[in-house]
């Protein structure tokens, strides 16, 4: 019998800081990291490239089998995403790709097509899984389930600060509208809606600085004996 591979899941809405937390967790534990949102983004982009309408779910889902995806880099700055040998990093990360991903993610066929692919990331010594349904559907037996939350206002403002620092002239009101739209679609969909698993620890980060969030997460890990002597 194969030894059981441990998993920590981190779910939550867009812009809540899952990327920051899961990268930190992966560095601390030296476990693998699954960015499940990137898989949905890549599949949506592949459909757009092939001019397949996003609501033709069977055709979109069928594309998943032919995508050879390689993630590399540990930090946001050195992240690289190659699909079938091409560098898609920038395209995957733009805001509009998240919106396209959210549209295809409402389809059961699309979700089924990506399910095993996500589970395949669970290899020794362990996995940190980032997404919307990691704790509720994909890794229901996870060793620790964290659900990060924050008000839509706080998330839109954080994003606005990040983009403004990069010199992008985005309006806070537009970002807020986008966050609300994506939240509604991700939370209201019939299959695998964004929700905390009953056994998840919910951390509301609305009033917290990133370092405070990491302190809470670190304490959770220690409590579960998942951080060793660190
Ligand atoms: O995490 P992200 O912003 O990259 O995700 C983009 C979209 O993909 C998100 O709005 C909904 C969908 N998604 C999903 O339905 N389930 C996941 N586990 C991850 C992402």
- Residue extents of the structural domains in the chain: 7-220
pTM across the whole model = 0.94
37 lines ligand 1 (CB under 6 A): yes
40 lines ligand 1 (CB under 6 A): yes
Closest protein CA for atom 10 of ligand 1 = 102
Distance 141 CA to ligand 1 centre (A): 21
Of 185, 148, 195, 111, give the one whose Cα is nearest residue 8: 148
- Alpha carbon distance 168, 211 (integer Å): 25
135 lines ligand 1 (CB under 6 A): no
CATH homologous superfamily of 7-220: P-loop containing nucleotide triphosphate hydrolases (3.40.50.300)
Strand order in the sheet with 80-83: 69-72, 80-83, 86-87
User: pLDDT tens per residue, the chain (230 residues)?
Assistant: 778 999 999 999 989 999 999 999 999 999 999 999 999 999 999 999 999 999 999 999 999 999 999 999 988 889 999 999 999 999 999 989 999 999 999 999 999 999 999 999 999 999 999 999 999 999 999 999 999 999 999 999 998 988 888 877 889 999 999 999 989 988 998 888 999 999 999 999 999 999 999 999 999 999 998 876 55
Which pLDDT does position 74 carry in this prediction? 82
130 lines ligand 1 (CB under 6 A): no
Which pLDDT does position 228 carry in this prediction? 67
182 lines ligand 1 (CB under 6 A): yes
Distance 224 CA to ligand 1 centre (A): 27
Closest protein CA for atom 2 of ligand 1 = 37
Do you know the residue count of the chain? Answer: 230
Unique residue bearing structure tokens 């937390």? 21
145 lines ligand 1 (CB under 6 A): no
Cα torsion 156, 91, 120, 8 to 10°: value is -20
């Amino acid at each position: 019998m194969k030894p059981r591979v441990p998993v920590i899941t981190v779910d939550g809405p867009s812009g809540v800081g899952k990327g920051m937390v899961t990268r930190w967790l992966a560095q601390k534990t030296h476990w693998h990291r699954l960015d499940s949102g990137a898989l949905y983004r890549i599949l949506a982009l592949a459909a757009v490239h092939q001019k397949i309408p996003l609501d033709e779910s069977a055709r979109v889902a069928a594309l998943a089998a032919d995508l050879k995806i390689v993630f590399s880099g540990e930090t946001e700055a050195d992240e690289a995403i190659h699909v079938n040998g091409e560098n898609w990093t920038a395209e995957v990360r733009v805001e509009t790709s998240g919106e396209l991903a959210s549209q295809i993610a409402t389809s059961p066929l699309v979700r089924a097509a990506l399910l095993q692919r996500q589970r395949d990331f669970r290899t020794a010594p362990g996995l940190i899984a980032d997404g919307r349904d990691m704790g509720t559907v994909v890794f229901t037996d996870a060793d620790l389930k964290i659900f990060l939350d924050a008000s839509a206002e706080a998330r839109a403002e954080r994003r606005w600060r990040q983009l403004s620092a990069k010199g992008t002239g985005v309006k806070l009101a537009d970002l807020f509208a986008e966050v609300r739209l994506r939240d509604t679609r991700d939370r209201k969909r019939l299959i695998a809606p964004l929700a905390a698993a009953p056994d998840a620890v919910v951390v509301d980060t609305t009033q917290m600085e990133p370092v405070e969030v990491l302190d809470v997460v670190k304490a959770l890990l220690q409590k579960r004996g998942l951080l060793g002597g660190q």
